[in-house]
Structure 1
């Protein structure tokens, strides 16, 4: 369907209705020009930005959940040296996540900072 890009099966005899095309829509960011599908680059960029921000927010939620009990231990004077170091690592990670929008190539190319869990798995 030209208006939405939705795929339809049309089996009636006779000419194809004006609102349909035999050329399938190549993706969600394409619009029909009257002759062909055209990529809407602004919509694609905005869609990618929204995807990246959602992924960032998920990572921020994990980081905040890891930070909370470590911060409690520090504030109560019950944290070990390892817990204090881990708290610092998680807080650095959270700051790095907040700065992904400053990266060159954002939002099309994002280099995610490794989480402290990733760093521990690598050792």
Structure 2
């Protein structure tokens, strides 16, 4: 499965944001917080681990029974940035739609500027 498909699967965003806010969590803690059964959460976490979005850590409290924690990776934190960027773009889209025909001449999102008059795009202030 491609990374783009993984990022937009049901509950993935919610799990990544939850792990970003926590140092580390057990599967059961994640399942309790987002109200899913443990097997569903385990499958999602396995997929996220395959794509290096989360990391599994076994901690042995006794000689025989390890506890499995999950933490978000740097790549997972970058995925959070993707979700945040999509949210910003959606807000701008809603603004444009709510202007009822008003022409937007320039749109700025972070370091990307789209200028409608000249049909040119620039990043970080440089014309392309």
| Length-normalised TM-score, structure 2 | 0.31
- The answer to which structure has the higher strand fraction is 2
| Length-normalised TM-score, structure 1 | 0.32
